[in-house]
Amino acid sequence: MIGTKEYYFNIFQVDQPLLDSLVEEALRSGGSYSDLYFENTSYGSLLLRDGAVTSGGCHQDFGVGVRVLSGEKTGYAYSESTAREHMMACARAAAQITDTPVEVSPYGTASPRRGEPNPAADRYPMQQPWREMPMSGFLPFLQKLEQDVRRRDGRIVKVIANLAFQVSDILMYNSARELKWDTRPMGSVSLSVVFQQGSQVENKSTSRSFRCGAEMLTDALIGEMASEVVKGVDERFAARRPKGGQMPVVMGAGASGILLHEAMGHAFEADFNRKGTSIFSDKMGCRICAKGISILDDGTLPGNRGTLNYDDEGVPGQKTYMVEDGVLTSYLHDRISAAHYGVRPTGNGRRESFRYAPLPRMRATYMESGTAKADDLIAEVQKGIFVDEFSNGQVQIGEGDFTFYVKSGFLIENGRLGAPVKDINIIGNGPAALADIRGVADDLIIDPGAWTCGKEQSVPVSCGIPTVLIGSLTVGGE
């Protein structure tokens, strides 16, 4: 949601001359670029536990971060006050990075859109702004969600439902005199359910997260989440660990996009490549997977958790193809890495809050649909595993080894789904797994869950993938 310039100036108690003074002060010792990042975030949360919404709260976070770049070196300081003297002190602290004056700034000329933010192009307008809604209005949503879930399965013994929302007013200014502003909403609902069958206990959870207002809290969402969380409970109770080892893995459409995030996305973030630590550091322009496969990172999907009108360096949100038709075509850049590589920033400079300097980070990372049918990919596998529900993943950038934890899936035997499996970790090597993709189905799903990436700082992301067959990964088991 994009307001007027005056709205943001008023929140942060600044004006144009003050912004100019701050960037000038930040560069007084000789830095090559400086920027300011103002943030005013309101958080709200409600928790339903044991049948009642008995816990909730609100939180405010306000401040400004000042960054000074000297070549590729970063000085950073922040203040929780926007009083002139406090911000000037920050500018001087950040300027400590400058021991060698750098004359030319390559950073400020890279934005393709230098004008004012356009409300008509807003990717996350709020029909029901969170800040204008009384908290009491949200209680019935959580209560109905719990009731709907409980009526669907008699084995449910505990339900926790959580609603969290935040709205961030952002104002950005830099030494190239680029001024951008934005208001970013985020609403998230999570549902965690414990089932008991005899002496056996199992848990399941699901979540939804979108950049939008409270209009997301609909009966349709209740039905969707309640249905999803009870789906597959019989299989969960019946599931066993498989025999571990190397085998073909069919990644179900949607949440399996964690494969792209861990196995490829991080390795495409340009800071890892600039520093030479990524396994893809010397692969630009090379074929890294089969023809027909395209992988992109997208900040333009309306209402998506990873979407941005502008990134946290004021660069317009955009759609970046990392792999086109099997060839590595772009890293994910912030301003520093873009200047290093001599390309335009891709709008991936992101930060957790004003307390952090931005880094190249993913937004919504997904693979475009292929031409195969999901059932045909499963039918190709004699003995393997199908996975479709995950909890977390990790990657070692240098080696390219990635893992993800599978909450549920199925064995594949003679081309058909067999016994259910659960609680297994899968491990592989990013470049090897990419090169070993044997088929891509035509059923891309962007997962709507509340994914958060934890590279040094936490930022909201999303991921997606069509059903994909990988020739061989190592599956944990007994």
- Closer to other proteins by Cβ: residue 46 or 444: 46
Q: What is the 8-class DSSP label of residue 240?
A: B
Q: Which two tokens stand for residue 281?
A: 């550091």
Helix/strand/coil for 138:
helix
- Give the E-state strand segments of 292-400 in sequence order: 295-298, 319-324, 327-328, 349-350, 359-360, 364-367, 383-395
Question: Beta-strand (E) ranges in 175-212?
Answer: 179-197, 200-210
Question: How far is the C-alpha of 174 from the C-alpha of 314, rounded, in Å?
Answer: 9
Gap between the Cα atoms of 190 and 457, Å rounded: 21
C-alpha distance from residue 298 to each of 304, 309, 332 (Å): 10, 11, 11
Residue in 431, 423, 450, 297 with CA at minimum distance from that of residue 360 = 297
The structure tokens listed for 210 are 């979108």
What is the closest distance, in whole angstroms, from the C-beta atom of residue 84 to other proteins in the complex?
15
Task: Pick the closer one to other proteins by CB: 128 or 205.
Answer: 205
Q: Which of 377, 390, 453 is nearest to 256 (CA)?
A: 390
| Closest CA relative to residue 1, chosen from 209, 164, 165, 212 | 212
Q: From the CB of 436, what's the least distance to other proteins, in Å?
A: 13
Structure tokens, 58:
């609100």
The SS3 of residue 91 is helix
Q: Closest separation between CB of residue 52 and other proteins, Å?
A: 4
Give min distance, CB of 70 to other proteins, in A: 10
Nearest residue (CB) to other proteins, 90 versus 437: 90
Q: What is the C-alpha separation between 165 and 213, in angstroms, rounded?
A: 9
Q: Report the alpha-carbon distance of residue 223 to residue 155 in Å, rounded.
A: 18
CB nearer to other proteins: pick between 281 and 369: 281
User: If you ran DSSP here, which 8-state letter would residue 303 be given?
Assistant: T
Indicate the helix (H) or strand (E) that contains 147: helix 139-150
CB nearer other proteins, residue 142 or residue 372: 142
Q: What is the DSSP letter of 310?
A: B
| Whole-number Å distance between alpha carbons of 258 and 297 | 13
CA 325-400-206 angle, to 5 degrees, is 80
Please state the closest distance from residue 17 (CB atom) to other proteins, in A. Answer: 24
Q: Which is nearer to other proteins, 197 or 369 (CB)?
A: 197
Please state the length of the chain. 478
Looking at residue 297, its amino acid is D
Q: Which is nearer to other proteins, 329 or 396 (CB)?
A: 396
| Token reading at 263 | 């196995």
Question: Shortest approach of other proteins to residue 278 CB, angstroms?
Answer: 8
Nearer to other proteins, 76 or 210 (CB): 76
- Compute φ and ψ for 21, nearest 5 degrees: -60, -40
